[in-house]
Homo-oligomer: A and B are copies of this chain.
Amino acid sequence: MTRQQLVHHIREKESFLCVGLDPDPARIPASYGGDLLRFNQDIIDATRDSCVAYKPNTAFYEALGLEGINLLRDTIAYIGDQHLVIADAKRGDIGNTSRYYARFAFETLGADAITVAPYMGADSVQPFLEYTGKWTILLALTSNPGSHDFQHTPQEDGPPLFAKVMRRAAEWGTPDQLMFVCGATQAERFTELRRHAPQHFFLVPGIGAQGGDLEGVCRHGMTDEAGLLVNSSRGIIYADDPGSAARELQEEMGRLLNKYAPGLFQ
């Protein structure tokens, strides 16, 4: 999916919602009898019109063993091509090896995008960027408490590590193929995050269970074409009515788009 197509979907749906498909066998309703594919399909059917992206986290599928990889591939196939599919895998290795991870995400699974960890630098990220029409989503400032351990520390030359990651990576990939993960729990940093990458899309986890600030993220981080994909996982898939939960977020996002990116609709 191209950036133009993604922006088109955001405009049409008045939504920049990404639904996190992280099924935990211990938490899905008993009525499914453990059929996680049917659970995912029901979530997708209920939320399809409210969101522009789906983000299965590969950890949940791998933990299920062999069947999990089947489930992941079948889930992605079921989503189809009208949504951006993000394999949330946080991969990254030496170039020789990252090539294999890229093949797994983009070819085996059929995802449009993959999340990647920046610690190993340029040659660990490059193999993902080499795929035409696919997206690399690099961790910048994550939503978890541990983000304070290393990401916030100022570097010798001034900016904190997350800013250095964003500035360097912006040299590796264009806004048409590279996004950054920026956690909603750090909404007050979004003005700064936007300064480092004015045009790149941000994938924003951390609203809902992690307590992030959606309005703050939009106030400080929205661009003329939205520039945000905000993810909700547990808040939707374990809601009594996942469709309603997604529509509620969609409505709020429509309001925020009209408030902070009115140019999108002109």
Q: Footprint of B on A, CB under 8 Å?
A: 22, 57, 59-60, 62-66, 69-70, 73, 88, 90-95, 97-98, 100-101, 103-104, 108, 117-125, 139, 142-151, 153-157, 161, 164-165, 168, 205, 210
* Contact present for A124 and B97 (CB under 8 Å): no
* Contact present for A144 and B123 (CB under 8 Å): yes
Q: Which chain B residues border A143 with CB–CB below 8 Å?
A: 94
| Number of copies of this chain that the complex holds | 2
* Cα–Cα distance between A94 and B168 once the two chains are bound (Å): 24
* Contact present for B104 and A121 (CB under 8 Å): no
Q: Which chain B residues border A139 with CB–CB below 8 Å?
A: 119-120
Which of B59, B101, B117, B120 is in CB contact (< 8 Å) with A63?
Answer: B101
* Contact present for A63 and B103 (CB under 8 Å): yes
* Contact present for B65 and A119 (CB under 8 Å): no
Cβ distance A257 to chain B, nearest Cβ, rounded Å: 27
* Contact present for B144 and A59 (CB under 8 Å): no
* Contact present for B146 and A120 (CB under 8 Å): yes
* Contact present for A149 and B122 (CB under 8 Å): yes
Q: Which chain B residues border A161 with CB–CB below 8 Å?
A: 150, 153, 161
